[in-house]
Amino acid sequence: MTNISPEIEYTNNNIFSSPKETMTEAPSFIGSDTLNNLNKLATPEDDDIGNWGHDENTASFIEDLTQEDPFDPTQLAAEYKAKRRGTTGIRKDKDYERVSDTMHKLKIHNLSKVRDTSKYKRDFLDLIINGNYRIKYIPDAARRDTAHEYCKNHLDADGIPLYRLLPTNAVDPLGNSITDLNGDLVDDIVLVDKRGSPVIINGYQLVQASPYKKAWAAMFKTKSARKLNPFNEWLAGMFQKSLSKVNWETGEYELNAREEMSNMMDTYSKIGLPKPRISKRLTPNSYWASVFSHIWHFFWNQLYKPVEPLRKLTDYLSSANAMFATLYDQPALNTIEASKGKKIAYPDWLLYKKVNSGQYNVDVGEKLQDETQKVIRTHINFTTNE
């Protein structure tokens, strides 16, 4: 059994939704309640959050733009739009006829009257064992209304939907509009990719199985052992992922696979199996999510344990968002306003951060990391949360 150093802490990068999974213009770390009340926040005192003052000894938070007015909304919008590829209307040669032809080539048969399904069962075994796939169920993609929203909320790097829901082409016995691909009058909820190939069918999707999860399950042989050693924590430990090993300039965690993991990757890659999926992406808000999880646990289970039932009246995500905005994002905005000598509307600030995300991440991230190591970790043990 691998001994994972107590220096390694679990880092949660999935608390805040990815910008690729939302079409809203608000940043991923700001909840709706926070946005609605942000203007009501009092300016934090320096003694409370550290000195964010802008003076000759403090490097400029973000390099001045060469333009005369770096906060001109029109200019910022143009710069941001230039970074993204836009599309309008139906793309060339992308229509239902092409999708229909692709579906026809799949030769989808009606199996409702087929008694001997052994062939399909053999194919199923071949797919799972030899293909190294698993079947993932996505409830939101199993109903027409939620599948439509699912498509809108899952985007590529350019903001274009990854999936499209096949339109209706028939009616069921009750007169409801449905998509019928094989003539059985049963609604087929099918999401296709950009090439028109089916990807999610009635909520079911084929995804590559992780051999590393099987290795983890073989290592921790009981349900209780696996509960004490979750897969994500084990995987983070195998790559020595830590809050103290980060690179804000590249926006990534510094990962270094242990010898056992390197041997597994070499063995599996030789037979065509994938490498483990572990997120290296680093942003100030994702870093804060990992730190705040320890603060949250310490607050309710150690500091205020007698009133722990009140925890049901609070919300972790809203609390984390509000504290990040108050302690780090708002002071950063105040610093820029002080250096420019004028107030900045919050929508302009959001756009400015998108255009200058690299420098924002460095300055806010380094301050957050420094306070985590010098202040927070002197009071809370991140291994035991005590």
Strands (E), 69-193: 133-137, 164-165, 170-171, 177-178, 190-192
* Predicted local confidence at residue 20, as pLDDT: 41
pLDDT of 266 > 80? The answer is: yes
Q: Is residue 311 pLDDT above 80, yes or no?
A: no
Q: Are 368 and 277 in contact, with CB atoms under 8 Å apart?
A: no
Beta bridge partners of 341: none
Quick count: other Cβ atoms within 10 Å of Cβ 327? Answer: 17
Q: Which residues pair with 373 in a beta bridge?
A: none
C-alpha–C-alpha distance, residues 7 and 242, integer Å = 8
Lowest-pLDDT range of 46-50, 84-88, 190-194, 346-350? 46-50
pLDDT at 187 over 60: yes
Residue 322 has pLDDT above 60, yes or no: yes
199-217 pLDDT tens trace: 999 999 999 888 999 999 9
Quick check: 309 and 22 in contact, CB under 8 A?
A: no
Say if residue 116 is exposed, middle or buried (CB neighbours under 10 Å; 0-12, 13-18, 19+).
exposed
Least confident of 52-66, 94-108, 174-188, 251-265: 52-66
Percentage of the chain exceeding pLDDT 70: 73
- What's the CA gap between 178 and 200, in Å, rounded? 16
**263 pLDDT tier (thresholds 50, 70, 90):** very high
Cβ atoms of 5 and 237 within 8 Å: the answer is yes
Provide the residue type at 212 as one letter.
Y
In this prediction, residue 21 carries a pLDDT of 38
Average model confidence (pLDDT) across the chain: 79
Give the model's pLDDT for residue 25. Answer: 38
Q: What is the pLDDT of residues 29-64, one digit of tens each?
A: 334 443 344 344 444 444 443 444 444 443 343 344
The pTM for the full model equals: 0.60
With a cut of 60, say whether residue 290 has pLDDT above it: yes
Contact of 58 with 314, CB cutoff 8 Å: no
Q: Give the pLDDT confidence score for residue 14 in this predicted structure.
A: 41
Q: Please tell me the predicted confidence (pLDDT) of residue 93.
A: 66
